[in-house]
């Protein structure tokens, strides 16, 4: 078995952490039990490019239990948990190519190594696997029946490929399931982003001015959690509707050029490039802390910050100090890479449970519908999404009401009014 990990001796530590996460993934465990019996993925090769975390390890084990041959590469150079990679290889015999802190060059080498499996199904978080296949590994396309995509940024990239008629196989946008984005993006990113900032800096959130750039599902979660910890939250937006939402959720909304002067902590989660630029860094207060929680490390213009700083040094793990020419110091977390997975451990297992239940059902859906699916980006059918929600409620011990026949009839009729 080929693999590339930091240190095989971390295996036992990784196994314990994977088991710890598994305790909080009851929906995935339930699906795994069924797949173990049915083995729907027998003979199917799956190449996955996901954050190498304890939760991902449980997804890989689930697919393997269902008969798949799986191989995993990191979807970000800084998000890998090395002990998890060691356990995947040495305890669970799942080939893994991931080392925390790997260079961009090694990141792409690893990605290409997973493609030597000649996948039938791809599983992406950010669409780097699919884009590499389309750019440099086109020979593989003939064997691929479909792929899944985990995150908003990846779905945007893949929809742009479909719109430009260059997408060569169907994709299930796992991100677009309600049981994914309403929970993982909002509560997962909300908590894990604050967790990353705290582990990196140990600053007090209460009483500070906390600027959140963007007001999508991830940013909504970050803003809510920062407010919950006592910060005064400012939101910046380009979308007028989201800006009104932020105002009515109780936040102050203003352009980043104005927020730059006020914030103690800044977090971007917009999915776009150069959201915080040199003109903003220059206006910031001495000691401002700046982090990104969006998928790619493009939201902070660090190239210009590097060029225009007279000095830089690492202060603590994940904290780099930049001294500007005017002597002001700015602190960038995790090199502008997603702070929740670089400085902390990503979203807790209890929300990844639903996300990865969606991934598993999406792979099964591709398998069952391969002949019918076109080269488009699809959402998982609502009944599967609802099925996951029902399973989750059951595992939480929560019962809900059912519509009475009379209520169903009322909803289906147009005659009854006032
Ligand atoms: N994305 C965000 N949190 C994650 C986690 N814990 N595992 C895998 N992918 C993630």
CATH of domain 8-180+347-395: 3.40.50.1480
Residue among 21, 54, 355, 356 whose CB has most ligand 1 atoms within 8 A, to mutate? 355
pLDDT of residue 418: 81
Is the CB of 154 inside a 6 Å radius of any atom of ligand 1?
A: no
With the most atoms of ligand 1 within 8 angstroms of its CB, the residue from 75, 352, 357 to mutate is 352
pLDDT value for 113? 97
pLDDT above 90 for 417: no
* CB neighbour list of residue 351: distance below 8 Å, 6 or more residues apart: 183, 184, 187, 188
pLDDT digits (tens, 9 = 90+) for 236-262: 999 999 999 999 999 999 999 999 999
Q: Is the pTM of this model over 0.75?
A: yes
Task: Place 102 in a pLDDT band, splitting at 50, 70 and 90.
Answer: very high
Q: Where are the alpha helices (DSSP H) in 39-124?
A: 54-65, 82-90, 104-115
Contact 54, 20 (CB under 8 A): yes
Q: Taking a C-beta distance cutoff of 8 angstroms, is the pair 154, 124 a contact?
A: yes
Q: Is the CB of 56 under 6 A from ligand 1?
A: yes
pLDDT at 302 over 90: yes
Task: Evaluate whether 31 touches 8 at the Cβ level (below 8 Å).
Answer: no
Give the per-residue pLDDT at 389.
98
Pocket test of ligand 1: the residue of 341, 348, 349, 358 to mutate, having most ligand atoms within 8 Å of its CB, is: 341
Q: Indicate if the pLDDT at residue 161 is higher than 90.
A: yes
Residue 65 · residue 32 · CB < 8 Å: yes
Q: For residue 211, what are the β-bridge partners?
A: 234, 266
Q: What is the DSSP pairing of strand 146-149 with strand 121-124? A: parallel
- % of the chain surpassing 90 pLDDT: 99
**Cβ of 55 below 6 Å from ligand 1:** yes
pLDDT of residue 96: 98
- Give the class (CATH, top level) of 187-342: alpha beta
Where does the pLDDT of residue 301 fall: very low under 50, low under 70, confident under 90, or very high at 90 and above?
A: very high
Question: How far is it, in rounded angstroms, from Cα 163 to Cα 247?
Answer: 33
The pLDDT of residue 62 is 98
pLDDT at 410 exceeding the cut of 90: yes
* Residue 372: pLDDT band with limits 50, 70, 90: very high
Q: Which of 234, 245, 344 is nearest to 280 (CA)?
A: 234
Q: Cα(124) to centroid of ligand 1, in Å?
A: 12
Confidence of residue 412 (pLDDT cuts 50, 70, 90): very high
Q: Which of 53, 72, 217, 296 to mutate to test the pocket of ligand 1 (most atoms within 8 A of CB)?
A: 53
Closest residue to atom 1 of ligand 1, CA basis: 346
Q: Is the CB of 127 under 6 A from ligand 1?
A: no
pLDDT at position 317, please? 96
Q: What is the pLDDT of residues 163-183, one digit of tens each?
A: 999 999 999 999 999 999 999
pLDDT digits (tens, 9 = 90+) for 358-370: 999 999 999 999 9
Distance 407 CA to ligand 1 centre (A): 40
User: Quick check: 23 pLDDT over 90?
Assistant: yes
d(CA 332, CA 323): 11
Delimit the CATH 3.40.50.720 region(s) of the chain: 187-342
Residue 68 pLDDT exceeds 90: yes
Q: How far apart are CA 302 and CA 330, in angstroms?
A: 11
**Mean pLDDT, to the nearest integer, of 122-149?**
98
Residue 193, ligand 1, Cβ within 6 A: no
* pLDDT value of position 374: 98
The predicted pLDDT at position 268 comes to 98
3-state secondary structure (DSSP) of residue 268: strand
Across the range 54-70, mean pLDDT stands at 98
Beta bridge partners of 73: 49, 97
Q: Of ligand 1's atoms, which has the minimum distance to the CA of residue 55?
A: 7
225 lines ligand 1 (CB under 6 A): no
Is residue 90 in contact with ligand 1, taking CB distance under 6 Å? no
Give the residue range(s) of CATH 3.40.50.1480 domains in the chain.
Answer: 8-180+347-395
Mean pLDDT, all residues of the chain: 97
């Amino acid at each position: 078995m080929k693999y590339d990990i930091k240190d095989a001796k971390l295996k036992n530590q990784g196994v314990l952490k994977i088991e710890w996460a598994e305790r909080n993934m009851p929906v995935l465990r339930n699906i795994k039990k069924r797949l173990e019996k049915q083995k729907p993925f027998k003979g199917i090769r799956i190449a996955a490019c996901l954050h190498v975390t304890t939760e991902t390890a449980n997804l890989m084990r689930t697919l393997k239990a269902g008969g798949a041959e799986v191989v995993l590469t990191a979807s970000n150079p800084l998000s890998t948990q090395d002990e998890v990679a060691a356990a995947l290889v040495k305890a669970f015999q799942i080939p893994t190519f991931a080392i925390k802190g790997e260079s961009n060059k090694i990141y792409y080498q690893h990605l290409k190594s997973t493609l030597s499996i000649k996948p039938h199904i791809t599983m992406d978080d950010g669409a780097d696997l699919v884009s590499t296949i389309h750019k440099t590994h086109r020979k593989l396309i003939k064997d691929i029946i479909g792929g899944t995509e985990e995150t908003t940024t990846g779905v945007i990239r893949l929809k742009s490929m479909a719109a430009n008629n260059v997408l060569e196989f169907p994709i299930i946008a796992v991100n677009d399931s309600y049981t994914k984005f309403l929970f993982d993006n909002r509560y997962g990113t909300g908590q894990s982003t604050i967790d990353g900032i705290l582990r990196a800096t140990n600053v007090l959130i209460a009483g500070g001015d906390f600027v959140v750039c963007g007001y999508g599902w991830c940013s909504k979660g970050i803003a809510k959690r920062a407010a919950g910890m006592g910060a005064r939250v400012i939101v910046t937006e380009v979308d007028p509707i989201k800006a009104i939402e932020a105002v009515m959720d109780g936040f102050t909304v203003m352009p980043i050029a104005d927020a730059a002067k006020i914030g103690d902590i800044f977090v971007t989660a917009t999915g776009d490039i150069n959201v915080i630029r040199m003109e903003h860094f220059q206006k910031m207060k001495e000691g401002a802390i700046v982090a990104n929680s969006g998928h790619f490390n493009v939201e902070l213009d660090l190239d210009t910050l590097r060029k225009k700083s007279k000095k830089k040094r690492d202060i603590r793990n994940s904290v780099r100090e930049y001294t500007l020419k005017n002597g002001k110091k700015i602190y960038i977390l995790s090199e502008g890479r997603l702070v929740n997975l670089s400085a902390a451990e990503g979203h807790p297992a209890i929300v990844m449970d639903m996300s990865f239940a969606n991934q598993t059902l999406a792979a099964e859906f591709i398998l069952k519908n391969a002949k019918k699916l076109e080269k488009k980006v699809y959402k998982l059918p609502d009944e599967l999404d609802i099925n996951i929600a029902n399973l989750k409620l059951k595992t939480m011990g929560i019962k809900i009401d059912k519509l009475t026949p009379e209520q169903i009839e009322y909803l289906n009729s147009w005659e009854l009014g006032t």
